[in-house]
Structure 1
Amino acid sequence: EEMTYRGVSINATVSFSATQAIAVGEAVERGLKRREAEGLDNSEINPVCTIMVGRLDDWLREIAEKKNISVDPCALHYAGIACVKKAYNVYNERGYKTKMLSAAYRTPLQWLEFIGGDMIMTIPYKNQVPFNGSDFEIKARMDNEVDPYYIKELRKIPDFIKAYDEMSVEEFDTFGPVNKTLDQFAGGYDDLVKIIRKFMI
Structure 2
Amino acid sequence: MTTAKPAPIAALEEVGVSVWLDDLSRERLDSGNLQELIDTKGIVGVTTNPSIFQAALADGEAYTDQLTELAAAGTDVDEAVFALTTDDVREACDLFRPVYEATDGVDGRVSIEVDPRLARDTEQTVEVAARLAQTVDRPQVYIKIPATEQGLPAITETLAAGISVNVTLIFSLERYRAVMNAFIDGLEKAHAAGRDLSTIHSVASFFVSRVDSEVDERLEQIGTDAALALRGKAGIANARLAYQAYEEVFATPRWQRLEDEGGRRQRPLWASTGVKNPDYPDTMYVTDLAAPNTVNTMPEKTLDAVLDHAEVAGDQVSGRYDEAQQVLDQLADLGISYTKVTDQLEAEGVEKFEASWAELLSGVQEELDKAGRR
Using the size of structure 2 for normalisation, the TM-score is 0.45
* Cα distance, 1:135 vs structure 2: 5.5
CA contact (8 A) 1:103 1:122 kept: yes
* Cα distance, 1:65 vs structure 2: 5.1
Query: Aligned in 2, Cα 1:196/1:39: closer, same or farther, shift over 3 Å?
Result: closer
Q: Residue 13 of structure 1 aligns to a residue in which SS?
A: strand
1:111 and 2:286 are equivalent in the alignment: yes
* Cα distance, 1:76 vs structure 2: 3.5
* Cα distance, 1:74 vs structure 2: 4.4
Distance in structure 1 (CA, Å) of the matches to 2:300 and 2:186: 35
From 331, 337, 350, the equivalent of 1:154 is: 331
Distance in structure 2 (CA, Å) of the matches to 1:15 and 1:137: 25
* Cα distance, 1:179 vs structure 2: 1.4
* Cα distance, 1:63 vs structure 2: 4.3
* Cα distance, 1:125 vs structure 2: 0.6
CA contact (8 A) 1:76 1:154 kept: no
From 113, 129, 144, the equivalent of 2:304 is: 129
Q: Residue 35 of structure 1 aligns to a residue in which SS?
A: helix
Please list every run of 5 or more consecutive structure 2 residues that lacks an aligned counterpart in the other structure.
1-155, 256-264, 276-281
Please list every run of 5 or more consecutive structure 1 residues that lacks an aligned counterpart in the other structure.
164-174
Distance in structure 2 (CA, Å) of the matches to 1:88 and 1:45: 21
Letter in structure 2 aligned against 1:59: E
Query: Aligned in 2, Cα 1:132/1:4: closer, same or farther, shift over 3 Å?
Result: same
Q: What is the root-mean-square deviation of aligned Cα atoms in Å?
A: 2.6
Q: Bigger CA drift: 5-14 or 80-89?
A: 80-89
Letter in structure 1 aligned against 2:337: P
CA contact (8 A) 2:164 2:202 kept: yes
From 229, 233, 236, the equivalent of 1:81 is: 236
Pairing of 1:7-26 with structure 2 (within 5 A): 7-26=162-181
CA contact (8 A) 2:219 2:228 kept: no
1:35 and 2:190 are equivalent in the alignment: yes
CA contact (8 A) 2:170 2:346 kept: yes
Distance in structure 2 (CA, Å) of the matches to 1:23 and 1:162: 18
Cα deviation digits, residues 21-72 of structure 1 (max 9, x gap): 1111111112212333344321101111101111122222334556x48563
CA contact (8 A) 2:291 2:316 kept: yes
Query: Aligned in 2, Cα 1:76/1:12: closer, same or farther, shift over 3 Å?
Result: farther
Q: Which has the higher contact order (CA 8 A, sep 6+)?
A: 1
1:189 and 2:348 are equivalent in the alignment: no
Number of residue pairs matched by the alignment: 189
